[in-house]
Amino acid sequence: MKLTLAEALTIPLLQQCEMIAGNQGLGRTIMSVNSFDAPDVMRWLKTGDLVLTTGYIFLNNEQALTNLVYDLAERNCAGLGIKTAHFPNSLPQDMILAANKMAFPIFRIPNELSIADLIQTILRELLTQQTKTGTNLQKLAVNDSHDFSTYSVLQHIPKEILKEYYSAFLSPLISHDQENHTDFLNTLEVYLNCGAKTTEAAQTIGVHRNTIHQRISKIKELLGSDLDNGKTNFRLQLAIKMYHLNKY
């Protein structure tokens, strides 16, 4: 199943948002979410991106707002969410006309809503929609296909949110590795990527399978997690990906 902008706007948190223009484009599909408050972000945007911004960088530059609509529409982005507190006289009429002409949706984000919360909510819904297609959760966590890679979604999440998520699942393991010069996090990653198969993980790392048994036993103890649970393993794989992304 695909997540259209019209469907995203029915999510409870997003119901507080208000359509401004481009209603004919509500059927656009959201593939990922991007947030920016810097003018050089355009080169990173791609098809299916839902773009969210405070709009501050466009203060006193109405032409830039209109150009933004054309640029996003040409890149086939999913839509634009913008906070309008910086525009006491509402958004420029030329911007509204451009959005309607290009059937490019623009919606107003209430000033009290956190963009980080919106990103997290939409990404959660994207992952939920992806699982409804019958894709195995574990494959989703480890498969970096061109059309819908986990990294292509996660890279748009603010680093503080990435850190908060992975720390909640991996902190004991990360601390143990740092304090004892172990490599348990890598062992866990390989083990999960091998479908929790001890022999395959041992061959990948190049150690005896009993070593993997011992490490996994200690990892379970440190994390207090049952690595025989598919949902737990998916969350751990997601957290590991967030950990890697946060380092760059």
Between 21-25, 94-98, 139-143, 158-162, the lowest mean confidence (pLDDT) is in: 139-143
Calculate the average pLDDT of the chain: 82
The mean per-residue pLDDT over the stretch 139-168 comes to 61
d(CA 77, CA 131) in angstroms, rounded, equals 23
- DSSP of 57-87: GGTT-HHHHHHHHHHHHHTT--EEEE--TT-
Q: What is the pLDDT of residue 32?
A: 85
Higher pLDDT: 141 or 58? It is 58
**Is the separation of the CB atoms in 184 and 219 below 8 Å?**
yes
Task: Give pLDDT tens digits for 23-56.
Answer: 999 999 998 888 876 656 666 778 888 999 888 7
Phi, psi of 35 (to 5 degrees): -125, 140
Instruction: Kindly give, in sequence order, each residue whose CB lies less than 8 Å from that of residue 7, ignoring residues fewer than 6 positions away.
Output: none
